[in-house]
Amino acid sequence: MTTYIQSVGMIEFSSIAAGIEAADRMMKASSVEILMMKTICPGKFIAAVHGDVAAVQAAVAAGIDGADGAVADHFVIPSIDRSVIAAMSGIAGKPQGPSLGIIETFSASSAIVAADRAAKTAEVDIAEVRIAMGLGGKAFCLLTGDVAAVSMATQAAADACAETAMLVRSVVIPSVTPEVMRSIL
């Protein structure tokens, strides 16, 4: 995998078999690289690829085509924030700031979109993007920073998810206790 991530596309499938078949179509359709392909709860499959924007768009279109109604959610982010990739991979740095923003979503895809929107809206640290494992198909992202930045970024992320009816809830905790912060991260 290259170290530079230009564009990311992901499809979330309600069927594992359909997801694997579509992932194969995605790879055959365009010159992209695999970012992540795996099963998630509850019995879903995600296929995420990266490459140049046109290639990612073509791969996602090919993955959706022929999925026979098995697509739960999808996205193409032309210029994804690098901190989102780190948070998805579990290698985000130590979160900074006293405030905690939480965006809970109905899909893994929408949590990634939310995290990217938050990172591009205000000076916040994307502490984690938890993708539907042990969450009954839901996902969430956690961001930290000063209260004004966290509030602004959380609102922008929540708005992005609300546009597609994928928002469960968003919360900003202005001064989260150190015990809670240590326990969740």
Tell me: the pLDDT tens digits for 53-105? Answer: 999 999 999 999 989 899 999 999 998 998 898 888 777 667 677 899 999 99
The pLDDT, as a whole number, for residue 184 is: 79
Alpha helix ranges (H) inside the chain: 16-29, 53-64, 82-89, 108-121, 147-163, 178-184
| pLDDT of the residue at 135 | 63
Bridge partners (DSSP) of residue 51 are 7
Q: Could you read off the pLDDT of 107-142 as tens digits, one per residue?
A: 989 999 999 999 999 999 999 998 866 667 789 999
Tell me where in the chain the CATH 3.30.70.1710 domain(s) lie.
7-77, 82-184
Strand bridging mode 71-77 / 139-145: unpaired
**Contact by Cβ (8 Å): 74, 109:** yes
pLDDT of residue 17: 95
Q: Can you give the pTM of this predicted structure?
A: 0.87
Please say if the pLDDT value at position 3 is more than 50. no
CATH label, 82-184, candidates 3.40.50.150, 3.30.980.10, 3.30.70.1710, 3.40.50.1980: 3.30.70.1710
Mean pLDDT score of the chain: 90
